[in-house]
Amino acid sequence: MESLSLDCVLRQNPDQVAAEMDGALVMLNIETGQYYSLNEAANFIWNLLANPASLAEVREAMLAEFDVSPSTCEADLMRFVEVMLKDGLLQRAEPLTAKRPLP
C-alpha cells in the first residue's frame, strides 16, 4: 500500500453500509462481513470523508473540534485511516486540485 501523507485525499467507500445505532455509528464491510463500531472521533472522521478531503483538512477540522495536541491528532488520524483503507472502508480519491475531464 502507498504510504499516507497529509496530502492524501480520501473518501468513504460508497459500497459500505453504515448506520447510527443508539448514538454510535456502526458499519458493515460487505466483502468480509466484519462489523465496526466507531467512537466519537472516528465517527467525526468518517462523516468528514463523505466527500473527498485531504488528511490535512481532516486534521484541521479535528483540531478545531477536539481538545487534542496536533501530534496526537495526526498519529491517531493516520492509524485510523490506515486500518480503514486496508479493510476497504475508505478509498483514495483524486486530488482536489486535479483537473477532471469534462463529460
The tens digit of pLDDT for each residue in 45-76 reads 999 999 999 999 999 999 999 999 999 999 99
Q: What's the domain count of the chain?
A: 1
CATH number for the domain that contains residue 55: 3.90.930
Q: Is 24 within the bounds of a domain? A: yes
Q: Is 2 within the bounds of a domain? A: no
Domain that holds residue 17: 9-92
User: pLDDT band at 97, cuts 50/70/90?
Assistant: low
Q: What is the pTM of this model?
A: 0.84
Q: Is 59 within the bounds of a domain? A: yes
Q: Is 1 within the bounds of a domain? A: no
In the 3-class helix/strand/coil scheme, how is the chain assigned residue by residue?
CCCCCCCCEEEECCCCEEEEECCEEEEECCCCCCEEEECHHHHHHHHHCCCCEEHHHHHHHHHHHCCCCHHHHHHHHHHHHHHHHHCCCEEECCCCCCCCCCC
